Amino acid sequence: MIKIKGLHKSYPMGKDSLHVLKGLDLHIKEGEFVSIMGSSGSGKSTLLNIVGLLDIHDVGEYHLNGQLIEKLDEKKAAILRNKFLGFVFQSFNLISYKTALENVALPLYYAGVNRKERLKTALDYLDKVGLKEWANHLPNELSGGQKQRVAIARALVTKPKVVLADEPTGALDSTTTDSVMDLLKEINDEGMTVFVITHEEEVAEQTKRIVRLKDGVIISDEVTNPKVLA
């Protein structure tokens, strides 16, 4: 599903540049539940942004769903993001003036689905994350955990190939963290590829494969639950 070879990324910093990713090799197959661990500033988000087509890499190869990603213009990237990827962010990134239902329905708007269909599908997904009753509430009327579940519903609504989550529990307390992780597990059980970034050991332990990143290189890549992957 995601195939990365010799990936480099630097950010220009005035005259110099900051070399963040220094040659990564990573292969994630369909249906995997992978977490990227690493301390703050180790380049986790940078990697996820490249995988998520929100940013472009400098050197190396990246295949998404068998398609080589290169010379991608904004429009093509937008179409691929809409079709293949679902995002979950640490700070939820819901649109404040839209209700939970409208937020979930938004990716379908960009996919060109008609309004009736959109709202129906969005409501199904809200139901799936247990928030059907909250459909017509605005984000500021929801708790952190609820907001993140709305964001997860939004990430899933277009039936993407991969869900990318950047510190999805970073802003949540331990109980809500567990409920969000349970939800991600459930999604994965249904066959979705899930790619989570975290710096919390307890979160990483709930995934099936942990990739550790340090100073821009992968220092370990281990399967936590060999039975499942076998």
Partner 1 sequence: MFDLDRWREIFQSMGKNKLRTILSGFTITFAIMLFTILLGMGNGLKNTFSSFFERDAENAIFIWPNRTTKAYKGFQSGRRIEFKNEDVDFIKENYPGQFTGLIRRNQRSMEVSYKNEKSNYQVIAVDPDIQFIEKASPVAGRFINQLDLNKKSKTIAIGRMVEKDLFPKGISAVGKYVNVGGLAFKVIGVFSDPGGDNEERFAYIPITTSQMIYGNNDKVDQINLLYNPDMSIEEAVAFGNKMRRDFKKRHNVAPTDQRGIRVLNRAEMAQGTGQVSGALDMIVIIISIGTLIAGIVGISNIMVYIVKERTKELGIRKALGAKPSSIITMILFEALFITSFAGYFGLLIGTGVLEFAAPRLEKYFIKDPSVDSGIIIFATILLMISGIIAGYLPARRAAKIKPIVALRDD
Ligand X SMILES: Nc1ncnc2c1ncn2[C@@H]1O[C@H](COP(=O)(O)OP(=O)(O)O)[C@@H](O)[C@H]1O
> Which x/- pattern, by CB under 6 A, does the window 185-224 give for ligand X?
----------------------------------------
Does 199 participate in binding partner 1 (rule CB under 8 A)?
no
Query: Tokens 């709305």 label which residue?
Result: 150
d(C-alpha 36, C-alpha 43), whole Å: 10
Q: 227 contacts which partner out of Mg ion, partner 1, ligand X, none, CB within 5 to 8 A by kind? A: none
Rounded least distance, CB 67 to partner 1, Å: 16
Q: 42 contacts which partner out of Mg ion, ligand X, partner 1, none, CB within 5 to 8 A by kind? A: ligand X
Does 110 participate in binding partner 1 (rule CB under 8 A)?
yes
Q: 32 contacts which partner out of ligand X, Mg ion, partner 1, none, CB within 5 to 8 A by kind? A: none
**Closest to 198 in 3D by CA, of 175, 223, 177, 224:** 177
Say if CB 123 and CB 132 are below 8 A apart: yes
Stretch that binds partner 1, among 87-95, 172-180, 188-196, 217-225 (CB under 8 A): 87-95
Mention every residue, 6+ apart, whose C-beta is less than 8 A from residue 15. none
Rounded least distance, CB 108 to partner 1, Å: 9
CB nearer partner 1, residue 93 or residue 224: 93
DSSP-assigned beta bridge partners for residue 59:
8
**Residue 8: Cβ within 10 Å count:** 15
CB nearer partner 1, residue 15 or residue 75: 75
Q: Which helix (H) or strand (E) holds 51?
A: helix 44-51
* Paired tokens of 35: 């977490």
Does 45 participate in binding Mg ion (rule CB under 5 A)?
yes
Say if CB 2 and CB 67 are below 8 A apart: no
Stretch that binds partner 1, among 30-38, 74-82, 182-190, 195-203 (CB under 8 A): 74-82
Say if CB 51 and CB 45 are below 8 A apart: no
